[in-house]
Amino acid sequence: MAVERHGVHLGQKRGVQILQPHDSSSSDRVSVDVPEEHRPAGPPSPTAWSRGPHALLWQLAAVALGGAVGGLLRASLIQAFPGWPGTLPLVILAENVTGAFLLGLVLTLLLRRPRIPQGVRLFVCTGVLGSFTTFSNLTLDVVQLASAGQFALALAYALGSVLLGLTATLLGVTIGRRLGTGSDVSSSAPSGGLR
C-alpha cells in the first residue's frame, strides 16, 4: 500500500496506492487508486445485493415485508367476507387458488428474467404470495368441518383445494411461458428452491 502525505511516499503493497491531498485544508480526504485488473468490468449485476455480509439480512427483510403485505391482504379478505361454521370456507379456497395461479405465473416470469433482482422474487413469491395463501387455514377448516360431522364436505374441500390449486398453478405457468416468450432465459419451468 502506498501512502503519500504532503508529497511523501510512505509505501506500497498489492498495487494499491492511497494518496492524501497535498493541501492541508482537505487533509481528511483519501483517494484510492485500484489497478485496472482489479476494477469491475461494468456496473454491478442486479443480484449483487444478495452477496456479501448483509445478504441474508436483505433477503429476510424482503420476505418479511412481503409477508406483511400478503398477511394483511389475507386477513382483510377473511374479515370482509367471514364464513359460517359448518359451511365451505370460500374465501380461503379463493385465496389459495388465486395465490397458486399467481405464484405459477409470477415465478415463471421472474425465472425467465435473470436481471430482475432475487429480492423481487423473495418479496413477491416467498413473502406476499406465501403469506397470502394458507395451508394451515385449509387444514384447520377441514378438521372443523369433519368435527362438525360434515365429512363429505371436508373431503371435497380438501381434495378440491389441492386439485384446483394444481390446475391454477399449471395455468399460471402456462400463461407465464407464453408471456415470457423471447425473454432472457430458456423456457425452464420453475422448480425447487427458495421462492
pLDDT digits (tens, 9 = 90+) for 137-148: 999 999 999 999
pLDDT attached to residue 128? 97
Half-sphere exposure of 183 (CA within 13 A, CB side): 19
Residue 193 lies in a domain: no
Helix runs in 39-89, H state only:
55-80
174 is in an annotated binding site: no
Question: Do residue 62 and residue 158 come from a single domain?
Answer: yes
98 is in an annotated binding site: no
Question: Do residue 84 and residue 12 come from a single domain?
Answer: no
Question: Do residue 73 and residue 96 come from a single domain?
Answer: yes
Domain membership of residue 32 as a residue range: 2-38
Question: Do residue 24 and residue 110 come from a single domain?
Answer: no
DSSP one-letter code for 189: P
Question: Do residue 144 and residue 98 come from a single domain?
Answer: yes
pLDDT attached to residue 114? 83
Question: Do residue 24 and residue 108 come from a single domain?
Answer: no
Question: Do residue 8 and residue 68 come from a single domain?
Answer: no
The segments of the chain whose pLDDT lies below 50 read 1-10, 13, 16-21, 24, 26, 43-44, 185-195
Residue 70 lies in a domain: yes
Question: Do residue 23 and residue 72 come from a single domain?
Answer: no
**Domain count for the chain:** 2
Question: Do residue 17 and residue 65 come from a single domain?
Answer: no
CA 120, CA 66: separation in Å to the nearest integer?
Answer: 9
Residue 184 lies in a domain: no
- The type of residue at 166 is L
What is the grid cell recorded at 95? 385465496
Please choose, from the candidates 48, 33, 45, the residue with its C-alpha nearest in 3D space to the C-alpha of residue 2. Answer: 33
